[in-house]
């Protein structure tokens, strides 16, 4: 059965939507208040969910492509790092955390490029998947958690949002540790695969 044109383009557009949504998230973060924090977090969650559905529909409709395989992790990194860099500029997170994640993703990008040049396929590892999932859960918690600073919240609600932000921050650090582990795994797999090919 022939697929309609919109179906053929849907997986790729879902992948690219993470880049399209990022400016909107940053816009709401710029005008920092509770409502905008909710909107920014909601948009981030929607963008994160597309990471599942682009692959799902690509496999379901047999539309898996090299372009999609390349763009999927790239758009993930653009979304996550884009928001984290902005949160750092707002003083919400430690710059050291952003530096670690940026260096790790640059390192992994180099390994993937080298592996592709050597015709080596490195499958996604569970540590990398957990890392991504923890990032995509912790970032909205940090964004919303910081809303406790707004004047409209006092007493119990303020404490709830404060603790939510703290939990999100802890989870984000755990994801950073996992990112280092997954980076080591990727390098080990590439090194072993290259050794076996020679």
pLDDT per position as a tens digit, 108-165: 888 888 887 888 777 667 777 788 889 989 999 999 988 766 555 555 567 788 888 9
pLDDT per position as a tens digit, 34-54: 889 999 999 999 999 998 899
Q: Which residue has the higher pLDDT, 106 or 65?
A: 106
**pLDDT of 63 strictly over 80:** yes
Q: Is the dihedral of CA 186, 190, 192, 193 positive or negative?
A: positive
**pLDDT of 94 strictly over 60:** yes
Q: What pLDDT shows up at residue 155?
A: 58
The highest-confidence range among 5-9, 31-35, 174-178, by mean pLDDT, is: 174-178
Give the C-alpha distances (Å, rounded to integers) separating 108 from 50, 56, 71: 22, 24, 14
Query: What is the C-alpha separation between 190 and 177, in angstroms, rounded?
Result: 20
Share the mean pLDDT of the chain: 86
Q: What pLDDT shows up at residue 3?
A: 65
**pLDDT of 190 strictly over 60:** yes
φ, ψ at 74 (rounded to 5°)? -65, -45
May I ask the CATH architecture of the domain 5-197? Answer: Up-down Bundle (1.20)
Show me where the domains of the chain are located: 5-197
Q: How far is CA 109 from the centre of its chain?
A: 15
The predicted model gives 164-189 an average pLDDT of: 91
The predicted model gives 95-120 an average pLDDT of: 87
Using DSSP's 3-state secondary structure scheme, residue 164 falls into helix
**pLDDT of 86 strictly over 60:** yes
- Which of 78, 54, 60 lies closest to 3, judged by CA? 60
**pLDDT of 85 strictly over 90:** yes
Q: Are 58 and 72 in contact (CB under 8 A)?
A: no
Query: What is the C-alpha separation between 3 and 40, in angstroms, rounded?
Result: 34
**pLDDT of 189 strictly over 90:** no
Query: What is the C-alpha separation between 28 and 71, in angstroms, rounded?
Result: 25
pTM listed for this prediction: 0.86
To which residue do tokens 């653009």 refer?
78
Q: What pLDDT shows up at residue 150?
A: 56
- Which of 145, 141, 150 lies closest to 32, judged by CA? 150
Q: What pLDDT shows up at residue 124?
A: 65
Question: Structure tokens of 189?
Answer: 């797999």
Query: What is the C-alpha separation between 194 and 11, in angstroms, rounded?
Result: 32
The predicted model gives 26-37 an average pLDDT of: 90
How much of the chain, in percent, has pLDDT values that exceed 90?
Answer: 40
Q: What pLDDT shows up at residue 161?
A: 82
């Amino acid at each position: 059965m022939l697929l309609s044109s919109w179906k053929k383009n849907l997986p790729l557009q879902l992948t690219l939507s993470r880049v399209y949504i990022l400016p909107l998230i940053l816009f709401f973060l710029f005008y920092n208040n509770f409502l905008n924090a909710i909107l920014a977090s909601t948009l981030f969650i929607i963008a994160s969910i597309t990471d599942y559905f682009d692959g799902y529909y690509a496999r379901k409709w047999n539309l898996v492509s090299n372009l999609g395989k390349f763009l999927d992790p790239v758009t993930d990194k653009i979304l996550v790092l884009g928001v984290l860099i902005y949160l750092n500029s707002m003083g919400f997170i430690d710059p050291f955390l952003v530096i670690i994640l940026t260096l790790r993703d640059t390192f992994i990008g180099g390994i993937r490029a080298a592996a592709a040049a050597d015709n080596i396929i490195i499958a996604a590892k569970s540590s990398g998947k957990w890392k991504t999932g923890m990032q995509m859960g912790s970032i909205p918690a940090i964004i919303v958690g910081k809303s406790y600073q707004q004047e409209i919240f006092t007493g119990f609600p303020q404490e709830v949002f404060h603790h939510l932000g703290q939990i999100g921050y802890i989870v984000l650090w755990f994801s950073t540790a996992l990112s280092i582990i997954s980076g080591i795994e990727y390098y080990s797999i590439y090194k072993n695969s290259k050794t076996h090919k020679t």
